[in-house]
């Protein structure tokens, strides 16, 4: 059975989550106590993952840096 072929050109992002004790005041810098968590994403990346899960032959084109 032939698989559908998909080429996705789109963005890749890294979402960073940190814990702070309070919201900073305008112009203030807060220091974090705990390590941050990072998750990959971006519209193009999410679409490529979804297409792959649907068993399409997926090519993802993005710019990094």
pTM > 0.75: yes or no: no
State how far Cα 47 lies from the chain centre.
Answer: 11
User: Is 26 inside a domain boundary?
Assistant: no
In-domain check, residue 24:
no
Contact 42, 12 (CB under 8 A): yes
pLDDT at 40 over 80: yes
How many domains does one find in the chain?
Answer: 1
Q: Is residue 40 part of a domain?
A: yes
Host domain of residue 4 = 1-19+34-65
Helix then strand count (H, E) for the chain reads 1, 4
Give pLDDT tens digits for 12-38.
999 888 877 788 899 999 887 777 888
SS3 9: strand
| Backbone angles phi and psi of 19, in degrees to 5 | -105, 130
d(CA 7, CA 47): 10
């Amino acid at each position: 059975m032939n698989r559908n072929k998909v080429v996705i050109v789109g963005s890749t992002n890294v979402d960073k989550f940190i814990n702070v004790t309070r919201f900073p005041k305008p112009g203030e810098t807060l220091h974090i106590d705990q390590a941050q968590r990072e998750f990959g994403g971006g519209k193009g990346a999410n679409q490529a993952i979804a297409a792959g899960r649907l068993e399409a032959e997926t090519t993802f084109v993005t710019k990094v840096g």
